[in-house]
Amino acid sequence: MAKEHLGFIGVGRMGGPMASRLLDDGFSLTICDTSDAAAAPLVARGARRAASPAEVASTVEAVMVSLPTPSVVQAVALGENGVIGGSRVKTFIDLSTTGPRVASAVAAGLATKNIVAVDSPVSGGVSGAKNGTLALMVACPREMFERMQTILRPIGKPFFIGDRPGMGQTMKLVNNLLSAAATAITSEGMVMGVKAGLDPKVMLDVINAGSGRNSATQDKFPRSVLPRTFDFGFPTELLYKDVKLCLDEAEALGIPMFVGNAVRQMLAVTKAAQGPDSDFTSLVKCIEEWAGVEVKG
C-alpha cells in the first residue's frame, strides 16, 4: 500500500537528508525551499517542488519543516503565503529549533485554522539526519504521537516529551547547551595539555576511558579537530543562536546560568573571529591562537 503524501519545507543541511530518508521509506513528497540547489536532488528523485509554503499546505495534510531560525519558522507558518494559508493541511511538524515561546505562538496561530502543531526539534547533526538516527523530542497530544510513528521513525527515534507546544523546544535547548559546553571546556583542556607537551590523541584515549569523556571527546574532536577538517556540520552562528535561546528562556524562568553565559561568550568570540558560517568545532582555534599551539593528530 502506498504511503502518505507529505510536505517538507526547508531541505537544506538537515532537512535535505531527512526528506531523502522519507523518500527511501516510500513516502511521496511535495517540497519547498528558497534554494534551487537544495531542492534539485530531491526533485530528481521524484519529489514535487511547490512555489510557496501555502502551496505545500494546499497539497498535503501533514507538513514538516526544518528551518534555520525562529523568525523564519514564524514566517513560514503564519506569514503571507505561509502554511496557515493552505487548504488541506491538518498537521504542522516543526523539526527546527525555535525556543518554547515561538513554538507556543506558532501553535496558537495555527490552531485558529484547526491545524495541530507538533513541536519536534531534533538532535544528532547532519550524520544523524543522513543515517536516520536523530533523537526527536516530540511535544503534541499523546494520541497524535502514537499515530505519527510511521512518519517519524524513518528519520530517528521519537521521544514523547509532553503534550504542550514548547516542551520539545525546552528539551532541545538544554541538550544543545550541554553539547556546546562540552565543546568549549574540552577545547580548553585539550589546548592546555598540548601546550604542556601531551599527545592529543593519547589525551582523548585516556579521557574517553575515564570520567571526563563527553560528546566532544568521543566524537567531535576525533572526527573534526584532530584531522583539522572542522567539518562536523553545524555552523557557529546556529549554535550561538540555540545557546542564546536557552539562556533567554532560563532568565524568563528565573534560573541562573553562570556556566551557560561563559559558553555563550566563547561562541560569540568564535563567531567574530572565525565567521558565523564556521563550523562550531572552530571554537578551539580561538584558544589555540591565544596559547600558540594546535590540537592536531
Locate the domains of the chain by residue range: 5-164, 170-291
> Residue 2: pLDDT band by 50, 70, 90 thresholds?
low
Domains 5-164 and 170-291 share a fold: no
pLDDT tens for residues 76-105? Answer: 999 999 999 999 999 999 999 999 999 999
Q: Is 170-291 in CATH node 1.10.1040.10?
A: yes
- The amino acid present at 80, given as its one-letter code, is E
Is 220 in the active site?
no
Question: d(Cα 101, Cα 210) in Å, to the nearest integer?
Answer: 39
5-164 — its CATH code? 3.40.50.720
What pLDDT is attached to residue 171? 97
From the candidates 90, 113, 172, 201, which is the catalytic residue?
Answer: 172
**Spatial separation of the C-alpha atoms in residues 29 and 20, rounded to whole Å:** 9
Reduce the DSSP state of residue 237 to 3 states and report it: helix
Q: Is the pLDDT of residue 109 over 70?
A: yes
pLDDT in tens, 260-290: 999 999 999 999 999 999 999 999 999 999 9
Q: What pLDDT does 128 receive?
A: 95
Length of the chain: 297
**pLDDT tens per residue across span 133-186:** 999 999 999 999 999 999 999 999 999 999 999 999 999 999 999 999 999 999
Helix axes 167-195, 258-274, angle to 10 degrees: 70
The label of the residue with cell 538544554 reads: 174
What integer pLDDT is reported at residue 3 of this predicted model?
Answer: 85
Q: Look at phi and psi of residue 246 and say left if phi exceeds 0, alpha if psi is from -120 to 50, else beta.
A: alpha
Taking residues 51-67, report their average pLDDT: 98
Question: Is residue 1's pLDDT more than 60?
Answer: no
